[in-house]
Chains A and B, each alone.
Chain A
Amino acid sequence: MKYLVVDDSKMAKKMVVKVLSSFLEEGDEIFEANNGLEGVNLYKDKKPDLVFMDLTMPIMDGFSATMEINRFDENAKVIAISADIQQKAVDRVMQRGALSFVQKPINEEKMRVILEEYVGVGIDG
């Protein structure tokens, strides 16, 4: 499995990676991007199976990045992770192709649910 984590905060990335790491299997890779633009470029390059996308970022925010990625690959799997959980924000990113929305901080339980649902990981775990 290839995972992409997009967030401008170093800590936030660390937190996601930490939770993700308990579900990692051999050969899995995690890529990190600092903003939406980097995220889009990295997606085109590495074609990850799952993207964790923060919403508020400089240069290009999560909404636009999600949209770009879905334009590039209509089967892209983007999970929005954000501190901002207002309904309008959720609607907005879902409209742009995100599959689900998780409120920060993501914990093991939420991660398990996401991985099971979208990449079939951990079903036998």
Chain B
Amino acid sequence: MGKNTTFSEDERDCLQEIMNIAYGSATAAISEILDAFATLKIPKIEIINPSDLKIYLKDSLNRVGEQLITTQLIDGDIAGETLFVMDINSAKNLAKEFEGDDENLYDIVLEVSNILSSATLGKFSEELSSEVSFSPPSIQKLESIDQLDNRYVENYQQIIIISTELDFEDQKISGELLILTKDDSIYWIQESINRILEAL
């Protein structure tokens, strides 16, 4: 098994579908917890190598300007790290949703990304008959994607990028949930998906 895992079309479809389910759960959780209604956009899924991360974020996803990054470590059959990337404008839009709550911008982003990550990954691993545990999240602000830490290139095997858009009533909030996998987690995901495919 080489370093790069390629997913076949069927595997990608299956991954996409499971992600849809997981993500739907997450959006519902957000709505209920934050007491707001959000429309779910089908998450666009991309699997890339860590060396392409910065370029992908800048070019394909057009991430320019200041970004807020929330990180959490994950452990279990799926091990690694989740990153939630949100640009500062989306964050401000998000904060507007909770105007009058006297909340700090960072706190809100932390919460939303924590809910999204936990719910998405929780449901995702559930579908694959597994469990995932989380570390407390931390947040940092980057002036631009260029400042993204290079250690991601060294430490992780492959990155699953789930691009999402949450439309809260009139606010558009876009962000990327990145799952950085290590220790053969990506193979485990692929095998689990294949098990599901076989059963179909």
Contacts and interface: CB of A to CB of B under 8 A. Distances in A.
Contacts of A82: 24
B17 A84 contact: no
A123 interface: no
B24 A84 contact: yes
A105 B21 contact: yes
Nearest to A58: B42
B31 interface: yes
For chain A, what secondary structure do more than half of its interface residues adopt (helix, strand, loop), or is it mixed? Answer: mixed
Contacts of A15: 17, 200
Could you say which interface size class chain B belongs to? 20 to 34
B13 A10 contact: yes
Interface string A76-100: 0000001111111000000000000
B12 to A, nearest CB: 9
A103 B25 CA distance: 9
B24 A103 contact: yes
B40 A83 contact: yes
A15 B200 CA distance: 7
Interface in A1-30: 9-12, 14-15, 18
A103 B27 CA distance: 13
B38 interface: yes
6 contacts: A9-B13, A10-B10, A18-B199, A56-B41, A85-B24, A104-B20
Interface of B: 10, 13-14, 16-17, 20-25, 27-28, 31-32, 37-38, 40-42, 127, 199-200
